[in-house]
Structure 1
Amino acid sequence: MAARSASKPRRKDADELPGRARVLQAAFSAFIENGYAQTSTLEIATRARVSKRELYALVGNKQEMLVACIRERATRLQAPADLPRPRDRETLASVLTTFGTQLVREISDPVVVAVFRLAIAEATRTPEVARALDSIGRETTRAALHGIMAEAHARGLLGGRPAEMVERFNGLLWGDLMVGLLLGTTDPPAPHERARDATAAFLRLYAPPDNAATAR
């Protein structure tokens, strides 16, 4: 009796979720546990405690559900709204370290890694899913980084093309870490330490324009 009464609040909490959120939660859990191809809309509807008609009305078909799951988690990859403007090299270092820390922490999260694995597994049969992950997730971070690099360049803090600097910073931040995370052969790193080291290496490579000209 005690076990049954202890489980009631959890069921009630799930029931109180808005219908769309409940469907997406159920869909994501099923996709991760069973794989996209092996998950049926009937199973998702059963988990979400809605009819199949409600399922389609709330979210759409199975592919739309997966894209919505990706989109929901990609919001965690946006630059923090309270990042300061890069006024000098010290502030720029703080901005890049803070944003890099968030990226490493969020993308190393097992749930986010599972999303990447799912998109890779479906890339051949459902390329729209991989494109959604690329455009919603990766492009979100690239756009945010490009904004930081462009402003730092405009203020004379960095010598280099913003697009090139985005790729270089990402390379220093990630290296082959993502491959190890996807394969399950690498443990998630300490986010702040990794971001701090990547930022320091990046700033050594990209001096202010005057210094860069002197170095040449």
Structure 2
Amino acid sequence: MNVAPGAWRYAAGPLLAAPFGFFVHPLAGLGLFALGGFVLWFFRDPERSTPPSGVVAPAHGKVSVLRKEGETVRLGIFMNVWDVHVIRSPVDGQVTDVEHTPGAHRPAFSKDSDRNERVHVRVAADADDRAPPIQEVTMIAGAFARRITPYTEASNTLSRGERIGHIAFGSRVDVVFAPSVSLDEVQVSPGDKTTAGETIILDEAEPDGDDV
């Protein structure tokens, strides 16, 4: 099983303590071993099969936000503790900025989460100089998520479905589409389940407004 970077930092403690826990009580040893195993499972990083076309979901979870904000559309995907927390790029493109914004740690599904700690990954045109259909991916901390780990930085070139970060222990990921994308062009609705790097959230024919 592949795991995200940092997994062993969280799992090593309970796994190393488990043998000593058996000397205290068998249940203590089993509990520590189970905790370490759960942490590794939580940080699992399965391979994904990215479709040949289309803008793909950045996160594995449930669509919790879909709204118009001024000239742009925002799509938010909430990840609970059972979801895979490795974040993937929805598009090919060039990273122009990775910005960390400090903030609160409210539940990621609440309205107050708009003020939570977050990391913005902003994207510009790819090598073909094609305007991307999204402006940024935002990784948002939740009530228990205290660490957002981006895997990319400014000037990096991204491929669709590529891993761009990880959020530990519950969170939300938002996509801000380009102004040319309208609300009714988005291919998912609130309540829909998504798989990072696989679920199409916008048809490839829509990115720069030439076909609409």
**For this structure pair, what is the TM-score category when the shorter chain's length is used for normalisation?**
under 0.3
The structure showing larger relative contact order (alpha-carbon pairs under 8 Å, at least 6 residues apart) is 2
Query: Greater Rg, structure 1 or structure 2?
Result: 1
Structure having the higher helix fraction is: 1
TM-score, length basis structure 1: 0.26
TM-score, length basis structure 2: 0.26
